[in-house]
């Protein structure tokens, strides 16, 4: 399927090249040509602002627009070109072309607007990557949905995509997890134990402890925390995978953080940075003032290993290895991203919480310190999300604090049980990751057009319903004469043909939420058409009905494609 904005951009560039060659315009380097749907009705289907060339061409923008329009090569999708002040070139699409696209959409099916932007290239999306110390929380859920949607869009753009989960199991939190389960197990055996307030309080560990006691009795009584850490980790990861599968998310690879230690890769990376002159040993960073140095000495701070990250624009240098010889999380993070780049990914997308912003910059500094190019690394930052519930007594919205250790949190499982997998996916995706999100459970479960999940899926359901009824009547769209389609149907096709550009922009700018916006916009175009464009009605001539049925087949294809790009199901009944 053609991306018509791209086609028109090429035609305008050809017209400009010819005008320069003929001497109608002075020599200049033609900039990227931005063609997009106009913001106002009556200004065509695609528009180019010729005003952007005024300085380069040293001419009035309206004169430039007229010159381009006069020399624009012909194309089968163009009906007419109009020039409008102060310098817009407005393109109106051919009705015959639009009608032909109905069959083209049906032919492409699930691959409608499968692009080749990333053909022959590999992309990796690393997302979720929650420590296996508890279930998937609502915050992790937004990360999961955004990451998986980004992966689906990259695939739609032609990339070969790997979904990766960075399995962070080497830190202190995993030691605390193992000790927490060990104490819960001993409590289950009847021992009276004071449970530390800073240990994991969640009921899920009490449940696992009960299962262990039932399976093993007191056979694990003398086992150390390491054994319980391994058990808890395995159980947590089973739970995490099960929860993600419930919303149609599956990773291709789980990268174990401990492998960076076992292979000595973190120390190899540190040594390479040292050889490049970016590592030093000191009690303080090199930019510390006298007061800061004196304060550190008074507290008895011992020398640590520092990364001279200020060389690359950081606000201060970063500790890589603490005075006790243990690496900070910065060192394995840099080693992990070094490994990513060495695996040959053309694009490596990380989905992270906004609290990782500074760390993400330090990692890129570390990559530069290894004489590697961090350009392939892109980060989507996720703002906070909270579940909102209406208090039945006060009528006010209330939130639940998210804390694995306190055991006071909503999980992905909770959200799916309260709403649905599709509702979770859409509402987590439908706002920019840069915006904070209130997940309104009351709104999400509504079966009405107020709920965008219902609104979008119902468009597909309506298409499926028409075909069920047609089949019952023995009516089909074979040999449909698409010339009989009207302006209402063409309005939908015009909008549907924007999908290629939406996919491209979402991938180029790492904005997967754009597909959710577009799906809702397209549904808003479709539903009024459905109410007006009847198929199986006594007053509709048979040939017109057949053409309209063919149109609804194409509309169903488009909505199926959109739903799957968002990771949602396409139900045929609701």
The CATH number of the domain holding residue 16 is: 3.30.1360.70
Per-residue pLDDT, 538: 86
Per-residue pLDDT, 471: 95
**Which of 78, 93, 108 delimits the end of a domain?**
93
Residues 214, 86 within the same domain: no
Residue 33 lies in domain: 4-93
Check: CB of residue 328 under 8 Å from CB of residue 320.
yes
**Which of 245, 270, 291 delimits the end of a domain?**
245
Q: What percent of the chain has pLDDT over 70?
A: 98
Number of domains within the chain: 4
Check: CB of residue 513 under 8 Å from CB of residue 567.
no
Of the candidate ranges 171-175, 214-218, 416-420, the one whose mean pLDDT is the lowest = 171-175
What angle, 0 to 180 degrees and rounded to 10, lies between the N-to-C axes of helices 487-496 and 542-565? 20
Check: CB of residue 332 under 8 Å from CB of residue 306.
no
Instruction: With respect to residue 534, please indicate whether it lies within any of the assigned structural domains.
Output: yes
Residues 149, 177 within the same domain: no
Mean pLDDT across 326-340: 96
Distance of CA 118 to the CA centre of its chain: 17
Distance CA 262, CA 94 (A): 63
Instruction: With respect to residue 65, please indicate whether it lies within any of the assigned structural domains.
Output: yes
Residues 223, 315 within the same domain: no
Tens of pLDDT, residue by residue over 387-428, are: 777 777 777 776 755 444 445 457 899 888 888 999 999 999
Residues 217, 352 within the same domain: no
How many other C-beta atoms lie within 10 A of the C-beta of residue 28?
13
**Which of 382, 400, 426 delimits the end of a domain?**
382
Residues 339, 378 within the same domain: yes
Per-residue pLDDT, 414: 84
**CATH number for the domain harbouring residue 470:** 1.10.730.10
Residues 263, 365 within the same domain: yes
Residues 128, 267 within the same domain: yes
pTM for this model (two decimals)? 0.92
Residues 312, 188 within the same domain: no
């Amino acid at each position: 399927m053609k991306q018509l904005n791209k086609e028109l951009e090429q035609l305008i560039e050809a017209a400009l090249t010819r005008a320069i060659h003929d001497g109608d315009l002075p020599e200049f380097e033609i900039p990227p040509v931005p063609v997009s749907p106009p913001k106002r009705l009556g200004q065509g289907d695609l528009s180019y602002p010729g005003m952007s060339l005024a300085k380069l061409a040293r001419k009035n923008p309206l004169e430039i627009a007229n010159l381009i329009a006069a020399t624009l090569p012909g194309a089968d999708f163009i009906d007419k070109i109009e020039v409008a002040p102060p310098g817009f070139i407005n393109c109106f699409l051919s009705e015959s072309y639009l009608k032909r696209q109905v069959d083209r959409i049906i032919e492409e099916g699930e691959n409608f607007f499968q692009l080749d932007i990333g053909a022959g290239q590999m992309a990796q999306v690393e997302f979720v990557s929650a420590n296996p110390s508890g279930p998937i929380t609502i915050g992790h859920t937004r990360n999961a949905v955004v990451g998986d949607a980004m992966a689906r869009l990259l695939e739609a753009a032609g990339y070969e995509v790997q979904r990766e989960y960075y399995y962070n199991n080497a830190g202190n939190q995993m030691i605390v997890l193992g000790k927490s389960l060990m104490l819960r197990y001993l409590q289950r055996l009847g021992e009276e134990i004071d449970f530390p307030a800073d240990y994991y309080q969640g009921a899920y560990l009490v449940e696992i402890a009960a299962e262990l006691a039932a399976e093993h009795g007191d056979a694990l009584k003398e086992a150390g925390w390491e054994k319980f850490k391994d058990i808890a980790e395995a159980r947590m990861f089973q739970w995490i995978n099960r929860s993600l599968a419930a919303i149609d998310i599956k990773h291709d690879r789980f990268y174990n953080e401990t492998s960076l230690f076992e292979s000595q890769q973190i120390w190899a990376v540190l040594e390479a940075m040292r050889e490049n002159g970016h590592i030093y040993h000191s009690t303080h960073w090199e930019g510390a003032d006298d007061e800061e140095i004196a304060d550190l000495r008074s507290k008895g701070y011992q020398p640590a290993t520092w990364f001279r990250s200020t060389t690359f624009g950081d606000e201060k240098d970063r500790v890589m290895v603490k005075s006790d010889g243990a690496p900070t999380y910065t060192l394995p993070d840099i080693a992990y991203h070094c490994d990513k780049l060495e695996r040959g990914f053309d694009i490596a997308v990380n989905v992270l919480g906004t609290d990782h912003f500074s760390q993400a910059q330090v990692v890129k500094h570390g990559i530069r310190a290894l004489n590697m190019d961090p350009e392939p690394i892109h980060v989507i930052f996720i703002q906070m999300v909270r579940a909102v519930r209406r208090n039945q007594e006060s009528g006010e919205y209330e939130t639940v604090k998210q804390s694995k250790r306190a055991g006071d949190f909503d999980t992905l499982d909770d959200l799916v049980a309260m709403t649905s997998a599709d509702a979770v996916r859409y509402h987590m995706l439908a706002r920019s990751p840069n915006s904070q999100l209130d997940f309104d459970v009351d709104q999400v479960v509504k079966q009405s057009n107020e709920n965008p999940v219902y609104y979008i899926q119902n468009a597909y359901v309506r298409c499926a319903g028409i075909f069920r009824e047609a089949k019952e009547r023995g009516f089909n769209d074979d040999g449909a004469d698409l010339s009989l389609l009207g302006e209402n149907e063409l309005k939908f096709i015009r909008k549907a043909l924007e999908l290629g550009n939406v996919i491209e922009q979402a991938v180029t700018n790492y904005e997967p939420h754009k597909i959710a916006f577009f799906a809702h916009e397209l549904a808003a175009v479709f539903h009024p058409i459905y109410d007006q464009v009847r198929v199986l009605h006594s007053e509709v001539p048979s040939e017109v009905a057949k053409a309209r049925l063919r149109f609804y087949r194409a509309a169903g294809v488009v909505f199926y494609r959109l739903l799957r790009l968002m990771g949602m199901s396409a139900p045929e009944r609701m």
